[in-house]
Amino acid sequence: MSERLAFVRACLDRRQRIVAICEQFGISEKTGHKILHRFRTEGDAGLADRSHAPHAQPHRMTPAVADQITDLRKRYPLYGPVKLRDWLVQHEPDTLWPAASSIGALLQREGLIRTRRRRPPAGMQALGPRGRTPATAPNVVWTVDFKGEFRLQHGPYCYPLTVLDLATHYSLACRALPTTAVAPTRAAFVRLFREYGLPDVVRSDNGVPFAQANALGRLGALGFWWVRLGIRPEHITPARPAENGAHERFHKTLKAAATQPASSSLAAQQRRFDAFRHEYNTERPHASLPGHLPPAQCYHPAPRPYPSRPPTLVYPTAHEVRLVDACGVIKWRNSAFFLSSNLSGAYVGLTHTPADLVTVAYGALALGELDPHHLRFIPHVRWVG
């Protein structure tokens, strides 16, 4: 503004022609006459900077589009700008929808979204769990966990059992259980296996009933049942919930959508979980899927059906078969070896190794080796296929 004022004073001094003054200030003659005209009509205020925004914005969000976006946000208050745009694109692909940033600005103006303080960067983190089975297709890896328990309005606690397909993020189950005991958890998995078939791997944390801290391979009765069905149990590293990060993120969404406030009974809470599962699987776009599609459009049941009878483990003829007694002990060469009480009543196969040891296996799961020289069992749990 000071440069424009100096230009005007030089022009009013009339000692030079306006063309020479414009050359001195590095502007065109047309611009010089425009500055003089604004000064004569508006005074010093005419020399201030003006907005360069266009008078008309052809791509400006129309009131009808804005109303549709705000109505959808009120219908799904937990959807952010990106997810709202994905939903609109998938349901009305012929409409030219604004960018997610424009939708976010609209929601902020309407008071439908609040700005959160960003956390400082936490430094380098692992990209994924090391040594874990990659979820390359549906039903390769299922993840399971109990979301933190909460008290219902009428007193009892609810323990939500949640199961996800890791490749498609499809919510396979969200059951409101009264306890984390093995029996109701196994019954829930029986229903799941009958409906969706058998996965290759079930990944869990190290809490009950999926793991048993001091047991062989941290496997409890539920884990050995999965092994008998040909399913590989997979535990994350203790105290590392980030290795099951997708499942933990699902719990955050579940908590916000279906647990606050808590329902009056388990039945009422289960109805809320069912409604949430339907919306999550069929309506809610997922950012990690192609085209941000809902999980139901990417998931399909497993090709392996759940057997009508518990499968019998058959070992090759080269194996020696031993029965695990009620105390979890097997007998071999007049010696007793403790394996696990969770294997009581099961048959294990014994086979000799080149290292003069005897490998003990339960189905496709090697449990460890018997040392015939020192008469001891060396635990070494691993999947042998």
pLDDT at 53: 72
Tell me the per-residue pLDDT of 174-202, one tens digit each, with 9 for 90 and over. Answer: 999 999 999 999 999 999 999 999 999 99
Q: With 80 as the cut, is the pLDDT of residue 320 above it?
A: yes
Q: With 60 as the cut, is the pLDDT of residue 120 above it?
A: no
Tell me the per-residue pLDDT of 260-316, one tens digit each, with 9 for 90 and over. Answer: 899 999 999 999 999 999 999 999 999 999 999 999 999 999 999 999 998 889 998
Percent of the chain with pLDDT over 90: 64
Give the global pTM. Answer: 0.76
Tell me the per-residue pLDDT of 19-33, one tens digit each, with 9 for 90 and over. Answer: 888 888 888 989 888
Closest C-alpha among 251, 290, 220, 300 to residue 143 = 251
**What's the chain look like in SS3?**
CHHHHHHHHHHHHCCCCHHHHHHHHCCCHHHHHHHHHHHHHHHHHHHCCCCCCCCCCCCCCCHHHHHHHHHHHHHCCCCCHHHHHHHHHHHCCCCCCCCHHHHHHHHHHCCCCCCCCCCCCCCCCCCCCCCCCCCCCCCCEEEEEECCCEECCCCCEEEEEEEEECCCCEEEEEEEECCCCHHHHHHHHHHHHHHHCCCCEEEECCCCCCCCCCCHHHCCHHHHHHHHCCCEEEECCCCCHHHHHHHHHHHHHHHHHHCCCCCCCHHHHHHHHHHHHHHHHHCCCCCCCHHHCCHHHCCCCCCCCCCCCCCCCCCCCCCEEEECCCCCEEEECCEEEECCHHHCCCEEEEEECCCCCEEEEECCEEEEEEECCCCEEEEEEEECC
pLDDT at 183: 96
Higher pLDDT, 118 or 37: 37
